[in-house]
Structure 1
Amino acid sequence: MRTWYATPSGRVLQGALQAHLDRFVPRLFGYHALQIGHTDPEHDLLTASRIHNRMQLACEPGQGHITALAEALPVLSDSMDLVLLNHCLESSPDPCLVLRETERILVPEGHVLIIGFNPFSPTGLWRMLPRRPGGKTQAGHVYSTARVGDWLTLLGFEVLACAYAGFYPRNENRPSGGRRPVVECLGGRHLPYLGGAYVILARKRVANMMPLSARWRSSGKMAPGRLASPFCRRTDRD
């Protein structure tokens, strides 16, 4: 992942994704933020965040402040206000477990940002093609925004926004030119679902338990059988 993001196309895509993150992140407040994924430790994707305590968890040794698996995070429950998953679902054998761990460590009303490749984009379709030299496929586990949104909904998240980036055809050997920002702008405005990658913003919702007062209802029958009809004693007086 780091090798591909070092190519010209990868740098352009990373810049487009960073623009979306810089638009979402400043509105998210809290005390602790965690960035998880196969990223360069010197590149802070949450640089526009107002959260001062930011940490990076890498899936490979020597790439972040913490090295661990995304399926078993060494983080306390209900301790993070913001979690960024950078291509973690695609590189995990159990993406649902990654989302459950994220839900566990997030505080109520905390936010998660998910970055992933779009399987229905030209770049995603290109990944399905076999490589020319060895004939091996590049298609990993790539999930659409609809599928990720369903997983988030089942875990109690509310999807707030979804943005796409990377509308320029992928070519590692072609240097970045001046046409790419124009294509990014036009693609994001007219063909948003064809972007090569996406950013999902979701919020952890927790249902409030409201105590219900007991309602007493008078029973019509105090004893088995029919109730006696009301009567009055009548005395005949001449």
Structure 2
Amino acid sequence: MLPDVQNAPIVELAEWLETAPGRYALEWEQARLDDAVSDVFGFHAMQAGLPQLDALRANRMPFKGYVGPARPAVPLRSRWNAFVQAELDALPFETQSLDLLVLPHTLEYSADPHRVLREAERVLIPEGRLVITGFNPWSLWGRLPGQSRPFLPGSVQPLSPVRLKDWLKLLSFEVDQGRFGAYVPACRTEKWLRRYAFMERAGARWWPVCGGLYVVAAIKRTATLRLIGPSWKKAKAPPRAAVVAAPRTGLHHGRDAA
């Protein structure tokens, strides 16, 4: 069993997801994840953390598993073929064994998010797909000056999409698509969240990178190797003898002259 101190932030997020803004976030992310994983093919798909989201619901791979610091609640376990309890910065999977890996808010609750990404790169096959969700610090849901109390869970450490893309690039991932959402103000009741719902369409048009949530999908690229053998040099052919034109003599073919 992993220490309770490691699970405390996850528990805090789970409690926040039961609030009105938490349910709003789950609804938006579930729809975006369905779009992101529906056309990803292969054999093995894995969700790392946040069992409140059914991140692989729309995927059609034969094996769909779950890994996290704690086991998912019994009513949720039927979503996956199998689940394993493990630390997400040391995934218990073979190298290049997964076709799809989803990290829903996983990086924001890790002591070393870059290490988690390195593990994701290790376990994914070449051309495998990585999908990440997170809170956007540059949004109305971020930690704004003057807030009496934080809108997001206090233990969350939002990772900006710009930094995330830089890290992915360093690990040879190519960002395939990205979506932002939750442009509504930091309202704590469902009534006001729905009242400001019109801002979703306006935000996507006028300030597209300022949504409170984001989903990023990336593909693991592997440089093509080209075998370079020894540079054998072909033996040079011996130089051909120069053809010299012989001068004509006074000899004539046929009968000799008298």
Tell me the secondary structure at the aligned position of residue 125 of structure 1.
coil
When structure 1 is superposed on structure 2, of 173-182 and 74-83 the one drifting more is: 173-182
Amino-acid identity (%): 36
Q: Which runs of 5+ in 1 are unaligned?
A: 221-238
Separation in 1, partners of 2:63, 2:196: 35
RMSD: 3.3
When structure 1 is superposed on structure 2, of 123-132 and 23-32 the one drifting more is: 123-132
What letter corresponds to residue 87 of structure 2 in structure 1? L
Tell me the secondary structure at the aligned position of residue 143 of structure 2.
helix
What letter corresponds to residue 170 of structure 1 in structure 2? A
Work out which of the two has the higher radius of gyration on C-alpha atoms and give 1 or 2.
2
1:34 equivalent in alignment to 2:46 = yes
Aligned equivalent of 1:52, options 62, 71, 84: 62
Give the Å deviation of 1:173.
3.2
The answer (yes or no) to whether the contact 1:164–1:193 under 8 Å persists in 2 is yes
Give the Å deviation of 1:181.
4.1
- TM-score normalised by length of structure 1: 0.81
Give the Å deviation of 1:2.
1.3
When structure 1 is superposed on structure 2, of 209-218 and 97-106 the one drifting more is: 209-218
Aligned positions, number: 226
Question: Which residue of 2 is the match for residue 111 of structure 1?
Answer: 129
Aligned equivalent of 1:206, options 190, 205, 222: 222
Separation in 2, partners of 1:16, 1:166: 8
The answer (yes or no) to whether the contact 2:36–2:131 under 8 Å persists in 1 is no
Give the Å deviation of 1:213.
4.7
Q: 1:4-56 CA deviation, whole Å, 9 max, x = no partner?
A: 1111111112211222222221221111111112332xx41221112231111
1:99 equivalent in alignment to 2:108 = no
The answer (yes or no) to whether the contact 1:129–1:138 under 8 Å persists in 2 is no
What letter corresponds to residue 44 of structure 1 in structure 2? D
When structure 1 is superposed on structure 2, of 209-218 and 156-165 the one drifting more is: 209-218
- TM-score normalised by length of structure 2: 0.75
Separation in 2, partners of 1:69, 1:118: 24
Change (3 A) 1:216 1:76: closer
What letter corresponds to residue 53 of structure 1 in structure 2? F
Aligned equivalent of 1:193, options 209, 212, 223: 209
Question: Which residue of 1 is the match for residue 173 of structure 2?
Answer: 157
Q: Which runs of 5+ in 2 are unaligned?
A: 1-12, 78-82, 237-258
Separation in 2, partners of 1:59, 1:182: 38
Structure 1 segment 1-238 matched on structure 2, within 5 A: 1-40=13-52, 43-63=53-73, 65-126=83-144, 129=147, 131=149, 138=154, 140-175=156-191, 178-217=194-233
Q: 1:125-165 CA deviation, whole Å, 9 max, x = no partner?
A: 34995638xxxx93642211110111111111111111111
